[in-house]
Amino acid sequence: MDIIIGFILSFAVLLLGVLKGWYIGFLLVLCLIIFSIISLRRGNDSKDIIYMAWDGGKKGLIVVKIFLLIGMVTAVWLTAGTVPAIVYYGMKLMNPRFYILFAFLISSTVSYMLGTSFGTVSTVGIALMVMAKGGNINPNLAAGAIISGCYFGDRTSPMSSCANLVSNLTETDLYPMLKKLLKTTILPFLIVGIAYLFLSFKNPLNIIGNEILSDISHTYTINIMVLLPAILMLVLSILKVDVKLSMIISIIIGIIVAKIVQQVPVVSLFKTIILGYNLEPSNPLVNIIKGGGMLSMMKAGFIVFISCAIAGVLNGIDLFNKVNDLFTKINSKSGLFLVTGAVSLFTAAFGGNQSIAIVMTSEIMKMKYEKLEIDKYQLASDIGNTAVILSPLIPWNISNIIPTTTLNVSSLGFIPYAFYLYFPFIINYIYLRISERNS
């Protein structure tokens, strides 16, 4: 009974905080305290609880390092003109008749290169939404395509903090895990692309965002050289170079490009790496091209650490074993995948953020996968197709609120058009069912 009360209180705290716009990291600390008190009531002493929290939290530390590198990469790419160039060339290539499809493809490309949905939506996402609103496109339709693309990178990019978190929690190697996930990505991606192509025919863009292109070309020097940090990162990922080393190399090249091409002072550049990138208030792109920095990612890293710590305490009071007892009758891959999806939706609704959904889904489901002798890479793939992309479907989840607030659209209205958030789950479930019937 006490654990049910704990979940209700924690859910109330998180929901109130999300609705009020409070920093969720502090709210998760309150949740950690709530579950620690429950653990004390169940006979564990304070030292045991601290150990359980630390044992869980340290699983997220490697991801915190990735977060800091992502913050540095984003800041350097913005300063060097890499991200503005991707936006510029992407919009240059765009055919207004196929705006919806291009919105999805451009967002997918940028999210793969940046490895962050929030970084994508706050750069190219805003630019694409400005075009949509100026071109008489349904904002919810445009947002659905943009947000779908933004979360493509969360599943598949070696720079993605989500992918690295899944890899760490499931004890799988990153690149083999991404290869496994790619097999469940291709068909849903093609089907989603076809759906957006069909919608593009019915919703052509009336005008093209020439003003944005002009503003970018006046603010930055745009040429092939500024794309080097992104191209290098892509090549290194194909060669399966360790992602941390790849990002460090990309940062170094980006710093050189920023200094030589954009003529950014060294002191200003290193300040940006720490604090993030911002243009002058008078610049028309000030609300479009911004972000990154180590400090911005420390908040996200803290959320991951506390989420893992909560999971550690819950595991210490044997909660996950008891939840697993509910799944005793599940003995097929399709059934297990369906349950994983249900658990991920519950944890995404309870935790209010993508990280805790990934952490708790992994901790709850890994024992069942082990009992059925299903390998860890399948677990990682299933989490990538559930917790990672289903979290934005919860209106009060941070992974929904930040993109929809950034794009200024309804937290519910875009969902019917965000095909990539649920098509991978549906298609892979159907595939597993068919495979089982034919075996």
pLDDT, position 424: 92
* DSSP structure string for 352-407: SSHHHHHHHHHHHHHHHHHHTT--HHHHHHHHHTTHHHHGGGSTTSHHHHHHHHHH
Coil/strand/helix, residue 309: helix
pLDDT bracket for residue 120 (50, 70, 90): confident
pLDDT, position 169: 86
293 contacts: CB under 8 Å, gap ≥ 6: 71, 72, 74, 75, 272, 273, 274, 275, 276, 277
pLDDT digits (tens, 9 = 90+) for 180-195: 888 888 899 999 999 9
pLDDT at 28 over 70: yes
pLDDT digits (tens, 9 = 90+) for 364-378: 888 888 888 888 999
pLDDT at 321 over 80: no
Long-range contacts of 238-244 (CB under 8 A, 24+ apart): 240/175, 243/66, 243/158, 243/159, 243/164, 243/174, 244/65, 244/66, 244/69
pLDDT at 153 over 80: yes
- Helical H runs in 276-353? 294-316, 319-324, 333-351
Closest CA relative to residue 388, chosen from 91, 90, 224, 154: 154
